[in-house]
Structure 1
Amino acid sequence: MSATHIKNPLRLLPLLASIVAISPLAIDMYLPAMPTIAEELSTTPTAVQNSLSIYMAGYALGMLFFGPIADRIGRRRVVIIGLLGFAFFSVALAFAESIESFLTLRFFQAAISSGATVVVPGVIRDMYGRHTAKGLSYVSMIMMIAPMIAPSIGSFILHFTGWRSIFLVLAVYAVLILALVLWKLPSSMPKKKNRQWLREFANNYRSVFANKTVRLDIFTSMFATFAFFCYLTSISYLYITHFGASEKSFSILFAINVIGLFISNIINSRIVERFGSRKLLRFGSVYALFTGTTFFTVLQLDLGLYATAASIFLLLGSLAFITTNSDALVLNTFAEKSGTATAVIGTLRFGSGALAGPLLAILFDGTPSNFAWLVLGSVVLVLLMQVFNRKASHV
């Protein structure tokens, strides 16, 4: 599929964003219901919180599988499989009767849903070519609506019907998006089929990792995303438990933080054609070190809720510059293997995200200092990856 086959590529962006939004909706919508789920399933809140890390692990492994499959059988088919599977396991989750079944179903819900989302960057690459970063920014801007409203939707559903209905709503959402995919998303097939598909599967991964510049860009994206998942895992404790914010205040501050991502994506989409993804990625890496250090200092000095929220707003904005432009650079390098490249990015991202919860728990000392240290370490590693990349490319 290419831009020449689509009369107006912009019309597909809301649909592509809606597909990608499945992940933040599945992650964020049930957050307010965690205590209720723990009580009803006769388990601890910690056990339910582990479902977040399990979801990320399942998502990472799913992308590892579905990325090359999309390159082989076509993206539209993989999207359909992913949406159908997500709907099925969402319904199953609504009827879970034990924490063991809940955690198992969350893993499979994530793994199968990755089939739907892993193809989106490749579709954008086909539509926008060298302007991929601009297309990714547009999709990110639209998709940011999901994490902004997901906790509030979850709270609303929880108040009127109960936590099980949250997963039924997710299933309905997937079915609606599936209908739009069947109607609007063009078919795409690989230019050639290789009978030695297992060898091709392995060779695609090998070729992505063999490129040192791409490898460092992928690690850059991974460390930036790890910082984001540390935020996602810790933010309810930080705002509600540590600072004593109400649930309403938490929802407002959470939405404001996401606006930081939104604004950065708007700015990136406007200036990327002028400066290029490489320069903006380097800018984002330096900016992230500044915002990460600011966040670390604010928390260590305990400057209060609003100073912390402001520093997180800036931090998330800097991370948006990194992930959008690093992804674009990788995808433009491997246009014919975009599914595999996206799978590598997604697997390392969500794999690192799965480690965020356990690491935060191990380092927890009754204060948010574990969160602060992990974020600071992440942004330092982000900058180091780009320093190494610059030396490797002699730019």
Structure 2
Amino acid sequence: MDHQEPKPTPSLVALPGTTAEAGSSTFAMFVALSALSVLPVNIIAPSLPNIAREFGADASVINLAVAGYAFVTAFVGLISGGLLDRFGRPPVARVSISLFVAASVGCAVATDITTFLLCRAAQAAIAACFSVALVGIKSTSSAETGASRMGYAAMVWAIAPMVGPTLGGTLDALFGWRSIFLGLAAAGLFVLLLPGHGLRERPAVADRSGYLGAYKLLLRSARFWAYVLCMTFSMGTLYIFLAGAPLAIGGSSAVLGLYMGLVPAGFICGSFLAGRIGARFARGRILVLARTLTCLGLLACLGLAAIAASHPLAFFVPCMFIGVGNGLTMPTANMGVMSIRQDLPGTAAGLSAAMSIGGGALVVSLAGLFFEGHGAIAALATTMLASALLALLAAVIAAWLDRDDRPNA
């Protein structure tokens, strides 16, 4: 049984210099922070061979620029949420961006692979700004508009990683790979120097339970687990698709990449839909709708595989609903976890992100045991559907647990 949630304090609702329903400039600040936090993830992907060549590094070593960054990102997300609740958004955001700018410059001037990889890992400090953006949108929006704003922000979370490799590849071709990091440093400095109207805020509540006690409070909540498991299996479905589609379909990498782009396009559509309907429907109903759409799409995929439909679109078009479902799910579920304890929104955001990403990775690791090699479309669709059904079950439980709550409160 969940503990009774404390009422929001005035610092969470109305502060000097801000309001419960913040304006468009404040919202734009949080969107910029979220974009800056996700852009560095894959912007250097096209330049990895050039970086490896210049430093004389093996592919396995240079890949740490991606894998190591992801590991530190998960760690930063885990600890930054608690820091947000304890110290508030302004110091966390400023320290995060300052470290990111310094680390980006370090990557740009690095003369050996060790220095480069250490600075690249330090760049992951910017991941704290993702939690800042989530909590900021939640705290400066009304109950009616919070989910909608989160949905529109989620469109940026999808677009930034999509344009990142193109932007990075262009900068590399024109000015060399070091210009990518100088560009990231300039972007971070620009955001750091923006007027901080969206960041004027005091910590929500002085945490009386202690840093670890805050995590315990959340982990005892059935609602928290329902939302996290919904996100975990939603992420797991996506990860299974990303890992299994190239093996099951095969063919030209360029054509395959084009087809796989249907899923992030679906995520953008789902996020836009979340923005449109988030203020009108309860979170639980949106989550059940989202997961039902994904399951129906994967059922169609499995049916087409059963009749041996051979065209790649017979697989990829139904899989587009993975993106649609996740685009609806992620902003809605994030609002849900941050609403469980009004005094711990940052801790909830950071902990749920770490758990859902790690859990999604575990899901795809287990699913990999069931599909191998080409021609495994039916097995791949089955494993994706199994994960999607578990996400739907978690969504139904979340909707039932939230049945007495105000919509999107």
TM norm structure 2: 0.81
Give the unaligned 5+ runs of structure 2: 1-11, 405-409
CA deviations on 1:80-126 (whole Å, 9 max, x unpaired) are 1111111222222334455555444433322x112222121211111
Shift of 1:228: 3.3
Q: Does 1:381 align with 2:390?
A: yes
Pick from 96, 99, 103: which aligns with 1:85? Answer: 99
Structure 1 segments unaligned to the other structure (5+ residues): none
Written as runs of structure 1 = structure 2, the 5 A alignment for 1:232-251 is 242-246=250-254
**In structure 1, how many angstroms separate the alpha carbons of the residues matched to 2:383 and 2:46?**
24
Q: Within 2, Cα distance between the matches of 1:38 and 1:360?
A: 32
What is the one-letter code of the residue matched to 1:315?
Answer: I
Assess, with a 3 A threshold, how the Cα gap between structure 1 residues 378 and 88 changes in structure 2: closer, same or farther.
farther
Instruction: Provide closer, same or farther for how the CA distance between residues 166 and 229 of structure 1 changes in structure 2, counting only shifts above 3 A.
Output: farther
Answer yes or no: is 1:345 the counterpart of 2:356: no
Amino acid at match of 1:22: L
Q: Is residue 2:78 matched to residue 1:64? A: yes
| Greater mean alpha carbon deviation, residues 137-146 or residues 119-128 | 137-146
Aligned positions of 1:1-395 closer than 5 A: 1-2=12-13, 5-6=18-19, 8-96=22-110, 101-110=115-124, 112-131=125-144, 132-180=146-194, 182-193=195-206, 199-231=209-241, 242-246=250-254, 256-295=262-301, 303-352=310-359, 365-367=372-374, 369=376, 375-389=384-398
The verdict on how the C-alpha distance between 1:267 and 1:193 changes in structure 2, with shifts beyond 3 A counting, is closer
Whole-Å separation in 1 of the counterparts to 2:362 and 2:117: 16
Q: Distance in 1 between matches of 2:24 and 2:71?
A: 32
Report the Cα offset of residue 303 of structure 1: 3.4
Deviates most, 13-22 or 252-261: 252-261
CA RMSD of aligned residues (A): 3.4
Cα contact 1:284–1:319 (8 A) shared by 2:
yes
In structure 2, how many angstroms separate the alpha carbons of the residues matched to 1:92 and 1:24?
A: 19
Alpha-carbon distance, 1:383 to partner: 2.0
Task: Verify the 8 A CA contact 2:284 2:399 in the aligned structure 1.
Answer: no
Aligned in 2, Cα 1:77/1:285: closer, same or farther, shift over 3 Å? same
> If each structure's helix is expressed as a fraction of its own residues, which one has the higher value?
1
Residues 77 and 59 of structure 1: CA distance in aligned 2, closer, same or farther (over 3 Å): same
1:141 touches 1:266 (CA, 8 Å); kept in 2? yes
Deviation readout 1:6-53 (Å, 9 max, x if unpaired): 475222222211211123311221222233334444444455445433
CA displacement at 1:149 relative to structure 2: 1.6
| Distance in 2 (alpha carbons) for counterparts of 1:37 and 1:282 | 45
Amino acid corresponding to residue 379 of structure 1 in structure 2: A
Query: Is the 2:230–2:390 Cα contact (8 Å) retained in structure 1?
Result: yes
- d(CA) in 2 for partners of 1:176, 1:230: 37
In the TM superposition, what whole-angstrom CA distance separates every residue of 1:295-317 from its partner, at most 9, and x where no partner exists?
Answer: 56668958344444423432211
Please, what TM-score do these two structures have when normalized by structure 1? 0.83
- Shift of the 257–377 alpha-carbon distance from structure 1 to 2, 3 Å rule, reads same
Taking only the aligned residue pairs, the percentage that are identical comes to: 21
Q: Deviations over 1:223-256 (max 9, x none)?
A: 2123334556677x579x932143xx67765665
Give the Cα–Cα distance (whole angstroms) in 2 for the partners of residues 310 and 230 of structure 1.
16
Structure 2 letter corresponding to 1:2: V
SS in 2 for 1:62: helix
Bigger Cα Rg: 2
Compare 322-331 and 184-193 and name the one that shifted more: 184-193
- CA shift in 2, pair 1:336/1:56, >3 Å: same
Q: Which amino acid aligns with 1:27?
A: V
Q: Provide the rounded CA distance (Å) in 2 between the counterparts of 1:95 and 1:307.
A: 48
Instruction: Confirm or deny: 8 A CA contact 1:147 1:258 kept in the other structure.
Output: no
